[in-house]
Amino acid sequence: IPESEKFRIEYWELEEAKLRRMPAPRPLATRVALVTGAASGIGRAIARRLSAEGACVVVADRNTRSAEEVAAELGGPDKAVAVAVDVTSEEEIAAAFREAVLAFGGVDLVVNNAGISLSRPLLETSAEDWDTQHRIMARGSFLASREGARVMKAQGLGGDIVYIASKNGVFAGPDNIAYGAAKADQAHQVRLLAAELGELGIRVNGVNPDGVVRGSGIFAGGWGAQRAAVYGVPEEKLGEFYAQRTLLKREVLPEHVANAVFALTGGDLSHTTGLHIPVDAGVAAAFLR
Ligand code: NAD
């Protein structure tokens, strides 16, 4: 065998050995999850589901009081801790991961869920709206993914990063420039990080919900009124309106989004990375605005 071939063979053997050492996804009961924006709505439902599956959960949110209530509901310090964090702050994100490691010994799963909506028509969208929207969703999830990857790489056990992105990051919803563009940024972070972190056994996937009105602080805090005006329906009928425009004629609840996070991280999707799962009862498939 020529020298160059020998080298190639050795190289492939080395690669194979590396692949054999690659940690298989572990059951949620052995894992620690940090969920941003877990004090309310979809994030709270995800925290509840991961906790019910046995994971230790870090409830990371800037709404400290509600985060503490969620952590207490999940069983207190041995099962869940609340961490006050503004996801736009590099220092606070680093501190949140430090607290997670101190509380539970590591982090294996990050859910980038924290978000707001400053949806308005283009000509009413200020530069400040644009910056705030992107700081929380694009920068915030970049920071949490980076810190999570740092911890996971040091642990050498692989891991999961899940982005709660949106149908609006793929399709053009009405009057949605700041929010939709920030969601599109998150969607591409999923693909870029899946490509970069795959060899560490870190899978990166997205979930794209739509029309989760009930339980959503975003909808209750002004977005509902804005969307109701866009679609020409009374705000109290918005949930029904969203359900009726789906292919399945079903209302999407926070728990349905949590089911998708579980499927990606604790179910059988061990060889899936870089994917976005729609949880919208068929809206994106039918390209309904
Ligand atoms: P929500 O308001 O109930 O939850 C958002 C949480 O994020 C809140 O607890 C809030 O305190 C927290 N948060 C906001 N800014 C933060 C910051 N800077 N630092 C830390 N925490 C912060 O809203 P929701 O509807 O549950 O939305 C959760 C996620 O799902 C968001 O990213 C949203 O864009 C996304 N999403 C929601 C829908 C929907 O229909 N509700 C659809 C698609 C995507």
pLDDT tens track for 104-130: 989 999 999 999 999 899 999 999 999
42 CA: nearest ligand 1 atom: 26
- Average of per-residue pLDDT across 5-21: 50
Instruction: Give the pLDDT confidence score for residue 17 in this predicted structure.
Output: 47
Q: Is 242 a catalytic site residue?
A: no
Atom of ligand 1 nearest to the CA of 242: 40
Q: Do β-strands 32-36 and 109-112 pair in parallel, antiparallel, or remain unpaired?
A: parallel
What was the pLDDT predicted at 6?
A: 55
Report the pLDDT value the prediction gives residue 267, as an integer from 0 to 100. Answer: 79
Structural Rg of the chain based on CA atoms: 20
Mean pLDDT, residues 14-22: 49
- At residue 24, the pLDDT reads 57
Whether the predicted pLDDT of 8 surpasses 70: no
pLDDT at 11: 47
| DSSP per position, 42-109 | HHHHHHHHHHHTT-EEEEEES-HHHHHHHHHHTTSTTTEEEEE--TT-HHHHHHHHHHHHHHHS---E
Is residue 280 over pLDDT 90? yes
Closest ligand 1 atom, CA of 39?
9
Find out whether the beta carbon of 227 lies less than 6 Å from any atom of ligand 1. Answer: no
- Closest atom of ligand 1 to CA, residue 220: 2
State in Å: Cα 41 to ligand 1 middle: 7
Taking the C-alpha atoms of residue 208 and residue 260, their distance in angstroms, rounded to an integer, is 10
Ligand 1 pocket, 246 CB below 6 A?
no
Summarize pLDDT for 148-178 with one digit per residue, the tens: 999 999 988 899 999 999 999 999 989 999 9
Alpha helices in 118-213 (DSSP H): 127-134, 140-155, 177-197
Q: Return the best residue to mutate from 34, 44, 163, 216 for the ligand 1 pocket (most ligand atoms within 8 A of CB).
A: 216
Residue-level pLDDT at 1:
62
pLDDT (mean) for 243-266 = 96
Centre a 10 Å sphere on the Cβ of residue 18 and count the other Cβ atoms it contains: 10
Ligand 1 site, residue 217, Cβ cutoff 6 A: yes
Tokens 């599109």 identify what position? 184
Looking at this predicted complex, what is its ipTM?
Answer: 0.99
pLDDT tens track for 25-48: 678 988 999 999 999 999 999 999
- Proportion of the chain above pLDDT 70, given as a percent: 91
For 217-251, how does the pLDDT look when each residue is reduced to its tens digit (9 = 90+)?
999 999 999 999 999 999 999 999 999 999 999 99
Q: Which of 11, 163, 179, 231 is catalytic?
A: 179
Q: Is the CB of 112 under 6 A from ligand 1?
A: no
The amino acid at residue 187 is A
Tell me if 206 CB under 6 Å of ligand 1: no
Chain segment 173-201, per-residue pLDDT in tens: 899 999 999 999 999 999 999 999 999 99
Q: Angle 252-84-207 (CA atoms, 0-180°, nearest 5)?
A: 25
211 in contact with ligand 1, CB cutoff 6 A: yes
Q: Which of 34, 35, 36, 40 to mutate to test the pocket of ligand 1 (most atoms within 8 A of CB)?
A: 40
Q: Could you tell me the distance, in angstroms and rounded to a whole number, from the CA of residue 177 to the centre of ligand 1?
A: 17
What is the reported pLDDT for 20?
46
